[in-house]
Amino acid sequence: MSIGFDFGTANCCVAHLVNGKAVPIPLVGENVYLPSTLCAPNAESVSEYLFRCLNIQPSDETNQAVLRRAIKLNREEGLDVIADDVKFGHQALELYLQDPKDVYFVKSPKSFLGAMGLRDMQLSFFEDLVCAMMSNIKTRAEAAIEKEFSQTVIGRPVNFLGRGGEASNIQAVDILTRAAKRAGFKEIEFQYEPVAAGLDFENTLTTDKKVLVVDIGGGTTDCSMIQMGPTWRGKLDRKDSLLAHTGQMVGGNDLDIFIAFKCLMTEFGLGTKLKSGLDLPLIQFWNSVAINDVQAQRSFYAHDNLPTLRQFHMDAMEPEKLNRLVKLHQETLGHGVIHQAEMAKIAMSDQETFTTLIDLVSETFNVPTSRAGIDAAIENPMNKIRSLVQEAVTQSGIEPDVIYMTGGSSRSRALTSAVASVLPNTEIISGNYFGSVTAGLTHWADLIYR
Mean per-residue pLDDT, 371-389: 93
| Residue 377: pLDDT band with limits 50, 70, 90 | very high
The verdict on 32 and 160 lying in the same domain is yes
Domain that holds residue 151: 2-185
Domain with residue 110: its CATH number is 3.30.420.40
CA–CA dist 250, 159 (Å, integer): 10
Would the pTM of this model clear 0.95, i.e. be above it? Answer: no
Tell me which amino acid residue 198 is.
G
- 81 inside domain: yes
The verdict on 244 and 385 lying in the same domain is yes
Strand partners, 358: 365
Burial class (CB in 10 A: 0-12, 13-18, 19+), 83: exposed
| Residue 430: pLDDT band with limits 50, 70, 90 | confident
CA–CA dist 403, 388 (Å, integer): 13
The verdict on 333 and 396 lying in the same domain is yes
Tell me which amino acid residue 42 is.
N
- 439 inside domain: no
The verdict on 365 and 318 lying in the same domain is yes
The verdict on 286 and 362 lying in the same domain is yes
The verdict on 247 and 393 lying in the same domain is yes
94 Cβ contact partners less than 8 Å away, ≥ 6 residues apart: none
The verdict on 215 and 300 lying in the same domain is yes
- 449 inside domain: no
Q: How many helices (H) and strands (E) does the chain have?
A: 16, 16
| Residue 164: pLDDT band with limits 50, 70, 90 | low
Q: What angle do CA 33, 139, 29 make, to 5 degrees?
A: 45
Helix (H, G, I), strand (E, B) or coil at 347: helix
Residues 233-265 pLDDT 10s: 988 888 899 999 999 888 888 999 999 999 999
Instruction: Supply the pLDDT for residue 97.
Output: 80
- 196 inside domain: no
CA–CA dist 450, 444 (Å, integer): 10
The verdict on 245 and 169 lying in the same domain is no
Residue closest to 70 by CA, chosen among 129, 114, 116: 129
The verdict on 178 and 231 lying in the same domain is no
The verdict on 162 and 302 lying in the same domain is no
Backbone angles phi and psi of 357, in degrees to 5: -115, 110
CA–CA dist 134, 175 (Å, integer): 12
Residue 409 Cα distances to 30, 217, 252, 259, 419, angstroms: 23, 6, 5, 14, 12
- 190 inside domain: no
Mean per-residue pLDDT, 272-291: 95
The verdict on 181 and 214 lying in the same domain is no
What domain count does the chain have? 2
- 280 inside domain: yes
Residue 169 confidence (pLDDT) above 70: yes
- 348 inside domain: yes
The verdict on 170 and 140 lying in the same domain is yes
| Residue 162: pLDDT band with limits 50, 70, 90 | low
Query: With the CA atoms of 418, 423, 424 and 427 taken in that order, what torsion angle do they form, in degrees rounded to the nearest 10?
Result: -100
- 66 inside domain: yes
CA–CA dist 238, 235 (Å, integer): 6
Residues 3-45 pLDDT 10s: 999 999 889 999 999 999 999 999 999 999 999 999 999 999 9
Rg (CA), the chain: 22
